[in-house]
């Protein structure tokens, strides 16, 4: 499956950071690395998860556990931001808690935390981006839409299918802020 490839891509970035090849030697470094470890899938799989694994590998060592810690961190972040979004939408912490607990207890999502795949990082970044898009739609603060756009771009770097959230976010923002606000320079 894809899990060993995501893990090995992370190991490649970790080793490249430790070895620090000269800029002119980076391509040759990657070729030699790929010859030794053909499980690499650079250029085929999105790289955000692999890059996010680097600090975990540095902290816990290169292992499946270290990769799962990263996925679990994204899952926790998604749950917390879904709680914040639910609280902002419903103005009720109990409704937000039920929303977050329903999300966190989903058998499919719990199963995804047991592997190192791109779905959870993309979902987490999409949820967090949606939260900031909602804040922008309600408050009109430029900072919120900038954060939402950066997180949406990061979600695309996590999994290309995250592109499906963009039309909904643009429509939602247009509905509450109007085209004039969306076309303003800030």
Q: Give the C-alpha separation, 160 to 155, whole Å.
A: 8
Provide the pLDDT for residue 179: 81
Q: How many CB atoms lie within 10 A of CB 115?
A: 16
Q: Give the C-alpha separation, 88 to 91, whole Å.
A: 5
> Any idea what DSSP says for residue 105?
T
In angstroms, the first-to-last Cα distance of the chain is 44
- One digit per residue, the tens of pLDDT, for the chain of length 186 reads 889 999 999 999 999 999 999 888 999 998 999 899 888 888 889 999 999 999 999 999 999 999 999 999 999 999 999 999 999 999 999 999 999 999 999 999 999 999 999 999 999 999 999 999 999 988 988 899 999 999 999 999 999 999 998 898 888 888 888 888 777 777
Q: Pick from 122, 133, 154, 143: which is nearest to 85 by CA?
A: 133
Do the beta carbons of residue 57 and residue 11 sit within 8 Å? yes
Q: Pick from 55, 48, 44, 43: which is nearest to 14 by CA?
A: 55
Q: H helices of the chain, where?
A: 3-19, 26-36, 48-60, 64-90, 93-104, 107-112, 119-139, 142-158, 165-183
Provide the pLDDT for residue 67: 95
Per-residue b or e along 35-48, where b marks 16 or more CB atoms closer than 10 Å to that residue's CB = eeeeebbeeebbbb
Q: Give the C-alpha separation, 145 to 60, whole Å.
A: 35
Beta bridge partners of 42: 45
CA 21 to chain centre: 27
| Reported pTM | 0.90
């Amino acid at each position: 499956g894809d899990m060993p490839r995501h893990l090995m891509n992370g190991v490649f970035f970790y080793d490249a950071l430790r070895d620090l090849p000269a800029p002119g030697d980076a391509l040759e470094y990657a070729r030699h690395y790929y010859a030794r470890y053909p499980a690499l899938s650079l250029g085929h799989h999105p790289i955000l998860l692999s890059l996010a694994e680097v600090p975990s590998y540095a902290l816990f060592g290169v292992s499946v556990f270290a990769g799962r810690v990263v996925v679990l961190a994204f899952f926790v972040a998604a749950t917390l931001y879904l709680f914040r979004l639910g609280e902002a939408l419903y103005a009720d912490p109990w409704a937000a808690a039920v929303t977050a607990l329903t999300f966190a207890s989903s058998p499919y999502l719990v199963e995804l935390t047991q592997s190192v795949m791109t779905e959870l990082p993309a979902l987490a970044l999409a949820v967090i981006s949606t939260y900031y898009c909602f804040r922008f739609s309600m408050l009109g603060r430029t900072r919120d839409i900038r954060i939402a756009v950066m997180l949406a771009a990061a979600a695309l770097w996590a999994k290309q299918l995250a592109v499906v959230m963009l039309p909904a976010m643009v429509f939602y923002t247009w509905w509450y802020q109007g085209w004039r606000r969306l076309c303003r320079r800030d």
